[in-house]
Amino acid sequence: MGKRNRSLIIEPSVFFVTSSFKNWVPLFSTHSVTEKVEDLLFHLFPSYADTLMGYVLMPSHVHFLVGCRGGGNQLSKFMKTFKSLSARKFFPGVGSIWIERFDDLRITTEKQLWIKLNYIHENPVRKGLVSKAIDWPWSSARFWILNEQKGVLTKEWDWL
């Protein structure tokens, strides 16, 4: 993955995003912190990005499927805000906890969207944290698989 000239993308787009903590330190390893970060994530929509279609908060990294009507620049502002607020609010005095950049991939087909959404949901299973995707509490798996409402999640991408 990589920046892929995101600032040149000005049309509405959905992005698959990955960011991790410096040295892959598992800072999201307690329920209380991870729940608060999840609430922060939901709170940022639609002020900083338009839609949250999928996510997983792992102990040492995150994956998102984010829809931005403003394209790549809007995505950059969203990620900067999410990383900055999560660091300051939940890890005060620690300093910079996130790696400086984040990776993104613009989703261009419905097939690609489903591949990335499945990747997001299966991440805790692949890492041995749970046996089924729906058992990981900090992801959109239950929303997509069991149709449980959760935060600001949406299944709508017809605005693209």
| 96 falls within a domain | yes
Q: Are 28 and 57 in contact (CB under 8 A)?
A: yes
Q: Please name the residue that has the structure tokens 């620690």.
A: 94
- Mean pLDDT lowest for which of 19-23, 27-31, 63-67? 27-31
- Return d(Cα 149, Cα 143) in angstroms, integer: 6
Tell me how far CA of residue 56 lies from CA of 20, 48, 71, 79, in angstroms: 12, 18, 22, 15
Rounded mean pLDDT of the chain? 92
Q: Name the pTM for this structure.
A: 0.92
On whether residue 77 sits in a domain, the answer given is yes
Minimum mean pLDDT among 2-6, 100-104, 124-128: which range?
2-6
pLDDT tens-digit series, residues 50-68? 999 999 999 999 999 999 9
CATH number at residue 35: 3.30.70.1290
In a domain, 154, yes or no: no
| Residue 37 located in a structural domain | yes
Find the mean pLDDT for residues 21-44.
Answer: 94
Domain range for 53 is 6-109
Contact, 103 vs 18, CB < 8 A? yes
Is 137 inside a domain boundary?
no
Helix (H) or strand (E) holding 63: strand 61-68
- In this prediction, residues 68-77 reach a mean pLDDT of 92
> What's the pLDDT tens digit per position in 116-150?
999 999 999 999 999 999 999 999 999 999 999 98
In a domain, 118, yes or no: no
How many whole angstroms separate alpha carbon 84 and alpha carbon 96? 9
Cβ neighbour number for residue 95 with a 10 Å cutoff? 8
pLDDT score of 1: 41
Q: What is the mean pLDDT of residues 14-19?
A: 96
Question: In the chain, what percentage of residues exceed pLDDT 70?
Answer: 96
Give me the number of domains the chain comprises: 1
How high is the pLDDT of residue 7?
76
What pLDDT does residue 4 have?
A: 61
8: tokens are 């040149």
Is residue 132 domain-resident?
A: no
Long-range contacts of 91-97 (CB under 8 A, 24+ apart): 91/27, 96/22, 97/21, 97/22, 97/25, 97/27
Residue 151 belongs to some domain of the structure: no
* Residues contacting 10, CB < 8 A, separation 6+: 70, 71, 72, 73
Mean pLDDT, rounded, for 96-109? 93
Whether residue 31 has pLDDT greater than 80: yes
The residue to which tokens 């990620």 are assigned: 79
Query: Averaged over 71-96, what is the pLDDT?
Result: 94
Residue type, 159: W
